[in-house]
């Protein structure tokens, strides 16, 4: 079973729901089966007065969720004629974004335990939870520029809300970051040792919970703070290089940013240099989409951003670099994608307009 569900009694007669992603062999990559199991169960728990809160975690120590099931999406794109919308990919994006929105707007506290690898769609699950836990071994990234996509799952929304220009830097470079970084950019609330996972679940089970969401949220925060690391957190690269990142991204055109990122490839810090090199090897279309969405979403609601991202993602699946990026990285593993267009200069405004079609199946999100 791709997701395990439990209802665990607490010390006050109420229960908490626990949803555990259970595909460690795929690093708990988010599949349609997972999504279709999570959505109704979260709905049921949200409406059940006996359930005080929900815990979302994963089996294994390597990853909470390494992103979406790319092989499933690749098969859908390859089996669909180029002039048609890949129906399975479109369905995946619609249902995935509904799940992300459900977590963001959930009526009860959700504790998401983001240990190990948390990438792409995994960050989509983590970002919306009311209580987001990372650990010293957490490694996060939005690496979509390397597969011909862009930071979706609400990434256009939450990266835009990171300090300064860090969000656009992460989108363009696919740079990995740790749990301390995640707290700095607003994607995590607590850093706990992974060894405390069982103790936290036991403390929740021993707790006395009410039928009032805000009070339960505060109690859960107090509980997590008691187990949080008080010292010894890893250094935040994003905080350390904040000024340089802001200067590199700047406030001008994507072509200007590209020139500054290319110069960053020679930086003495390997982390910065690797991010710049990833940008240079990445899909020009992905870079252009990330930049265009960054400019567009500042004053949009989360629902509006998810609607927009659905349009863009379906277009990427239909005629963008997405399938080629998955082929090069996951299927053939030659790491030699043939991007079309091959350079930023060839990504024209007319081509960019083709990534925002209509009508929209998420129009009912309020």
Render pLDDT for 301-360 as a digit per residue (tens, 0 to 9). Answer: 999 999 999 999 999 999 879 999 999 999 999 999 999 999 999 999 999 988 975 556
CB 286, CB 145: distance < 8 Å:
yes
Closest CA to 149 of 34, 33, 314: 314
Partners of 4 in the beta sheet?
20
Helix (H) or strand (E) holding 247: helix 242-249
Residue 47 confidence (pLDDT) above 90 = yes
pTM: 0.95
User: What pLDDT does 84 receive?
Assistant: 79
CB 312, CB 157: distance < 8 Å:
no
Distance from CA of residue 81 to its chain's centroid?
29
Closest CA to 100 of 153, 47, 151, 48: 153
Partners of 116 in the beta sheet?
63
CB 184, CB 236: distance < 8 Å:
yes
User: What pLDDT does 1 receive?
Assistant: 85
Q: What integer is the mean pLDDT of 213-220?
A: 95
Helices (H), 16-56: 32-47
Helices (H), 58-114: 70-78, 87-104
Strand, helix or coil for residue 278 = helix
User: What pLDDT does 231 receive?
Assistant: 61
Render pLDDT for 266-292 as a digit per residue (tens, 0 to 9). Answer: 999 999 999 999 999 999 999 999 999
Q: CA separation (Å) from 75 to 2, 311, 323, 342, 346?
A: 20, 20, 9, 24, 28
d(CA 34, CA 20): 10
Strand, helix or coil for residue 81 = coil
Helix (H) or strand (E) holding 7: strand 3-9
User: What pLDDT does 34 receive?
Assistant: 97
- DSSP β-ladder status, 139-141 and 177-178: antiparallel
């Amino acid at each position: 079973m791709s997701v395990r569900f439990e209802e665990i009694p607490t010390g006050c007669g109420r229960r908490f729901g626990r949803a555990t992603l259970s595909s460690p062999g795929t690093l708990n990559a988010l599949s349609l089966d997972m999504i279709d199991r999570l959505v109704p169960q979260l709905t049921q728990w949200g409406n059940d007065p006996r359930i005080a809160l929900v815990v979302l975690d994963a089996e294994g120590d390597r990853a909470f969720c390494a992103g979406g099931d790319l092989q499933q999406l690749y098969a859908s794109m390859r089996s669909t004629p180029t002039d048609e919308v890949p129906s399975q990919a479109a369905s995946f994006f619609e249902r995935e974004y509904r799940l992300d929105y459900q977590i963001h707007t959930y009526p009860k506290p959700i504790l998401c335990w983001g240990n190990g690898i948390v990438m792409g769609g995994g960050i989509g699950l983590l970002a919306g939870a009311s209580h987001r836990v990372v650990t010293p071994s957490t490694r996060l990234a939005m690496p979509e520029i390397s597969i011909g996509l862009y930071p979706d799952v609400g990434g256009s929304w939450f990266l835009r809300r990171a300090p300064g220009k860090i969000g656009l830097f992460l989108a363009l470079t696919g740079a990995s970051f740790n749990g301390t970084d995640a707290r700095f950019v607003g994607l995590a609330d607590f850093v706990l040792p992974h060894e405390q996972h069982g103790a936290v679940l036991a403390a929740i089970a021993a707790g006395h919970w009410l039928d009032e969401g805000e009070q339960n949220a505060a109690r859960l925060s107090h509980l997590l703070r008691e187990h949080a690391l008080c010292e010894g957190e890893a250094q935040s690269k994003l905080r350390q290089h904040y000024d340089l990142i802001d200067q590199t991204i700047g406030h001008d055109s994507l072509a200007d940013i590209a020139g500054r990122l290319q110069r960053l490839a020679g930086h003495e810090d390997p982390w910065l240099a690797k991010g710049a090199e990833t940008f240079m090897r990445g899909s020009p279309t992905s870079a252009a989409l990330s930049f265009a969405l960054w400019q567009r979403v500042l004053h949009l609601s989360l629902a509006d951003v998810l609607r927009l991202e659905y349009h863009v993602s379906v277009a990427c699946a239909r005629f963008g670099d997405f399938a080629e990026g998955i082929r090069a990285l996951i299927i053939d593993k030659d790491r030699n994608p043939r991007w079309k267009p091959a350079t930023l200069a060839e990504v024209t405004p007319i081509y960019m307009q083709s990534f925002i079609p209509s009508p929209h199946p998420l129009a009912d999100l309020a």
